Amino acid sequence: MKYDHIIKQMTLEEKASLMSGKDFWQTQDIERLGINNIFLADGPHGIRKQAEAADHLGLNESLPATCFPTAATVANSWNTALGEKIGQYLGTEAVAQKVNVLLGPGINMKRDPLCGRNFEYFSEDPYLAGKLAAGYIKGIQSHGISACVKHFAANNQEERRMSIDTIVDERTLREIYLTGFEIAVKEGQTKTVMSAYNMLNGEYTNENIHLMQEILREEWDYDGVVVTDWGGSNDRVAGLIAGNELEMPTTAGETNQEIIQAIKTGKITEDVLDRCVDRLLDLIFTTEEVYNKPYQKEIDVASHHLVAQQVAEESIVLLKNEGNILPLKKGVKVATIGEFAKEARYQGAGSSIVNPTILDNTLDCIAQSSIENIGFEPGFERYGKKNQKKIDKACALAKEADVVLLYIGLDEATEAEGLDRQSMRIPENQRDLLDALYKVNPNIVAILSCGAAVEMPWIHKVKGLLHAYLSGQAGAKAILRVVTGEVNPSGKLAETYPIRYEDTPAYHQFPGKEVSVEYRESLYIGYRYYDTAGINVLFPFGYGLSYTSFQYSDLKVTKDGVTFTITNTGNMAGMEVAQLYVGCQSKAIFRPKKELKGFGKTFLNPGQTKTMTIAFDDKTFRYFNVKTNKWEIEQASYEIMIGASSEDIRLTNTIFIEGTGAPLPYESGTLSSYYSGKVNNVSEEEFEDLLGRKVPVSTWDRSKPLGYNDTIAQCQYAKGAFARFAFGLIVFSHWFLNKIGKRSTANIIMMSIYHMPFRGVARMTGGVVNMPMLDGILMMVNGHFFKGLRHVLKERSKMLKVAKSQ
C-alpha cells in the first residue's frame, strides 16, 4: 500500500470516518495527519459547485460556470480530440472553483429513447461512448484533478432507479453495457468511478463482487476510487467488501459505526478497510497537489464561451435540406417563430444544471447577423398549454416571410433526471403550430432542441431540419452560423431515430415498473437491432448532411487496419466523419449484422483528397464467450465496411481472421429470436435460455410488509392507513401541480419522493433521520402507527443525546 505509514497512525474510528462524506459534497478530513477534505462537484458539461444549500436535484443555484453542450450533443461531433479539449476546459474551471473530483462523464448506453437522462449520455454505441469519454477524462485529469465516470453499470432507466433490478445476460453486459466503461478505465485512466443506484442481476451494483471486484479491479486492473451515487449505498459493509471506498453524502457517522462493528465482530478484517483507505488517500493527496502551489483562480469567461460555441458548431446535425433551403440566401425575409428562440433550450435538468457565465439569446444574435428577420412570435406555450392566439399571430407573421425559422423541441420538465419520458413525441401544441404554419408558408426550417430521439411524423412539413440537441450557453449563435453557412455542419447522429416508438427493440420491456427490468433484446440495441432485423428507420446511426459532398475510394485492408481516401467533391470546405463497421460472416454465434469498430473525422477543402487510416484494436473482432467466461475471437471471414452512416456503406472488403478455438457458447435451436435479430418481443422462456437461469418475479409481493428497499410508491399497498393517506397526498400533489402548470415542481415529487426506497430517507437526509428512526417509520407504514411513532421519538431522542455529548 502507498500510504501504509499514514494508515498505521490512524485509529479504527478515523479510518472508518473517511469512508463517507463530511457533508453533501466534501469528504472527511483528519487534521492531525494532514488529510484534507476534498470537494466533489457535478459536472458532465459544466461545473455545478453549490456555494449555499446543497442538493442533488439542481434546485439551488451553483457558482457561474461555462455551460458546454451536453454529452448527447458532443457525441454527434464524433471527435475525440474535441472531447479532450472540452475536458481540458472543464478541468481549468474545476481547479478555479477548487473542485477535486468532477462527477462526469456519464456513459450509460441509450438502450431506450425514453430514458429521461439520455441527454447526459453519449450514444447507443459503447465504442463511440467509450472513446469520447476517454477524451473527456484525459482532458479533465490533465490538470491533476479527477474525472468520475458514471453510472457503473446498466443504469438505463430513471423510474425506480434506486431499487430496480436489471436482468441482463453476461455477454450483453460485457459487450454493450461495460465496453464503454472498459475504454474509460483503460484508455482514459479515470481516477474515480461512480457506482449506479440499481441492482444488477439481483445485487446492488455497489455490492456486486462480480462487477466491482472480478471485472473492475481484477480484469481491468483498476486501482482508483469507487464512490456511490448520492444516497446509493444499501449495505455499507457489503459495499466496502466489494471495494467501494466512498459513500456520499454524509450519514452523520451512522455507517461508519457499521464498519467499525463489522471489524470488531470479525465480519470483515481490518485490512479490507485499510485497502479502501489507501486508495482514497491516493485520490485525496494527488488531487490536492494542484492546490499546494499557485493555481489559476479565475477563468477567461469570453474564451471559454467561444470554445463552447465551437463545440456546438461541430456537433449540430443537418437532418434535412430539401431544395438546398440551407444555408439561407442573402436577402431572404425570415420569420423567427418558437418559444425556444426567445428562451433557448440549451441544457438538461437535474444534477447537471449549470449556471452559465453568459447565455446567448437567439433574437439578439439574429439582430447581429446577416439574416433579414421581419419579426418574432413565440407561437406556443413552453410547457404544452394550448394557445390559439399565439398560433394565429405566428401564422400572420409567417405569411409575410420567405422562410420560417421554427424553434421547437422538448422542454426542461420533459427531459429530466429521475423521470423517464412518457412518449417520443414533441408536445402537441408545437405540432399544432407546425400544422398551421405549413398551410400558410411551406418554406419552414425547423431548429430542433432536445437531448434524445423524437418521432417526426411531421417531417414532410419542413424543408430544412437542423438538430441542435442541447447545445450549451453559446448554442444560439452556433445554430445561426450553421443556418447562414458561416459554418458547414459536420455533426452525425450518435443514436438512431426510429420512425415510431413501437419499432424500438426494448418497447415491451421499458421501463421496469416494479421489481426488475429484463433486457430481453440482448445485444440488439440501436442500430444493431434495426440493421439486423431489417426495420426501417427515420434517420440511421451515424447520419448527417453537409453543405458539400464527399466521395470515398481505394479501400485497402490489412491485418492491422484499413486505409481509404476521401475527396471533397463539392464547392465548400467541410468535415466528414468516416465510420468503420465490421460484420462476421459466420452464423455459428448470433451477432448484429454490423458493429462500429472505429471512426475518424477529417477536414477537406473543395477538391481536396486525403488518405484516412483506421487501425484495428483488441475490440475489432472479439466477442464474449459465456462458456469460457472470457473474450474470444471466432475464426471466420469478416466484412469490413466503411460508411458515411450505418446504412450508407460506401466501401466494402473482407478479411479472414484466425480464431481462438473456443467452444460455441450457444445452442442455436433454442435461441431463434437472437439468431434472427428479431428481438422486439422475446418470450420469457427464450430469455431464460439465454440467461441460463430463471428470471426473478418482476412484480411486488403485496402480502409482505414494506422494508428498506421498497419505495414510497408502494405505500399504496401498505397495511397502515397513515401510509396509504400519505401516498394519496403525494399523488394528489403531483396531479395538482401539473394541473396548475408547475410541472418542474411536480417532477421533483416523483424524483425525490415517489420512487425513492425507504432507505433513501436515511441515506439522503445527512443524519436527520437515521436507520433506527426509519425502523419506526416502517412500523407506522406497516400498520403499527403508535408503536412506530413511539419508536421514532425514542430513537430521535437517543440520537440528539449522542450528538450533544460529542
Helix (H) or strand (E) holding 595: strand 595-604
Cα gap 162→284, rounded to integer Å: 28
Helix (H, G, I), strand (E, B) or coil at 554: strand
How do residues 254-270 score in pLDDT, each as one tens digit?
A: 999 999 999 999 999 99
Lowest mean pLDDT among 244-248, 279-283, 733-737: 733-737
What share of the chain in percent tops pLDDT 70?
99
> How confident is the model at residue 55, as a pLDDT?
58
pLDDT above 70: residue 367: yes
Please report which confidence band the pLDDT of residue 781 belongs to, taking 50, 70 and 90 as the band edges.
Answer: very high
At 518 the pLDDT is 98
For the whole prediction, is pTM greater than 0.85?
yes
CA distance 379 to 395: 8
Cβ(364)–Cβ(407) below 8 Å:
no
* Average pLDDT of the segment spanning 446-475: 98
Q: What whole-number percentage of the chain has pLDDT above 90?
A: 90
Q: At 57, is the pLDDT very low, low, confident or very high (cuts 50, 70, 90)?
A: low
Domain layout of the chain by residue ranges: 4-292, 306-494, 537-663, 712-805
Residues ≥6 apart with Cβ < 8 Å to 337: 376, 377, 378, 379, 394, 397, 398, 404, 405, 406, 407, 433, 437
> Amino acid letter at 452?
A
Q: Which pLDDT score is estimated for 799?
A: 87
Query: What per-residue confidence (pLDDT) applies to 171?
Result: 98
60 vs 268: CA distance, rounded Å: 40
Spatial separation of the C-alpha atoms in residues 440 and 337, rounded to whole Å: 14
Looking at the predicted structure, is the pLDDT value of residue 54 above 70? no
Helix 126-141, helix 80-96: angle, nearest 10: 40
Cell of residue 236, nine digits: 455499507
Distance CA 295, CA 574 (A): 38
Looking at residue 266, its pLDDT comes to: 96
For the stretch 568-580, pLDDT in tens is 999 999 999 999 9
Q: What is the pLDDT of residue 58?
A: 53
Asked if residues 26 and 37 have their Cβ atoms less than 8 Å apart, the reply is yes
Catalytic residues, by residue number, are 229
Protein fold of 4-292: TIM Barrel (3.20.20)
307: pLDDT confidence band, cut at 50, 70 and 90? Answer: very high
Provide the 3-class DSSP secondary structure of residue 599: strand
State yes or no: pLDDT of 689 exceeds 90: yes
Q: How far is CA 645 from CA 221, 496, 525, 594, in A?
A: 35, 10, 16, 12
pLDDT band at 52 (very low <50, low <70, confident <90, very high): low
Residue 20 pLDDT more than 80? yes
CB 140 within 8 A of CB 190: no
Residue 59: is its pLDDT beyond 80? no
Residue 326 corresponds to which cell in the numbers above? 440551407
Q: Looking at the domain that runs over 537-663, which CATH code has it been given? A: 2.60.40.10
Residue 56, pLDDT > 60, answer no
What is d(CA 675, CA 285) in angstroms, rounded to the nearest whole number? 51
Q: Backbone dihedral region of 534: left (phi > 0), alpha (psi from -120 to 50 degrees) or beta?
A: left
Phi, psi at residue 104, to the nearest 5°? 175, 165
Instruction: Spell out a b/e string for 555-589, using b for 16 or more CB atoms within 10 Å of the CB, else e.
Output: bebeeebbbbebbbebeeebbbbbbbbbbbeeeeb
Average pLDDT over residues 329-354: 93
Spatial distance between the Cα atoms of 8 and 572, rounded to a whole number of angstroms: 66
DSSP-derived letter for residue 589 is S
pLDDT tens track for 192-202: 999 999 999 99
Q: What is the pLDDT of residue 567?
A: 98
Tens digit of pLDDT for each residue in 521-564?
999 999 999 999 999 999 999 999 999 999 999 999 999 999 99
Q: Classify domain 306-494 at the CATH topology level.
A: Rossmann fold (3.40.50)
Least confident of 119-128, 304-313, 335-344, 407-416: 407-416
| Cell digits of residue 501 | 416508438
The confidence score (pLDDT) of residue 751 equals: 77
pLDDT at 744 over 90: no
- Look up residue 642 and give its three cell numbers: 466503411
* Helix, strand, coil percentages, rounded to 5, for the chain: 35, 20, 45
Query: In this predicted structure, what is the pLDDT of residue 275?
Result: 97
Q: Other C-beta atoms within 10 Å of 654: how many?
A: 12
Residue 804 confidence (pLDDT): 81
pLDDT classification of 766: cutoffs 50, 70, 90: confident
**Residue 51: is its pLDDT beyond 80?**
no
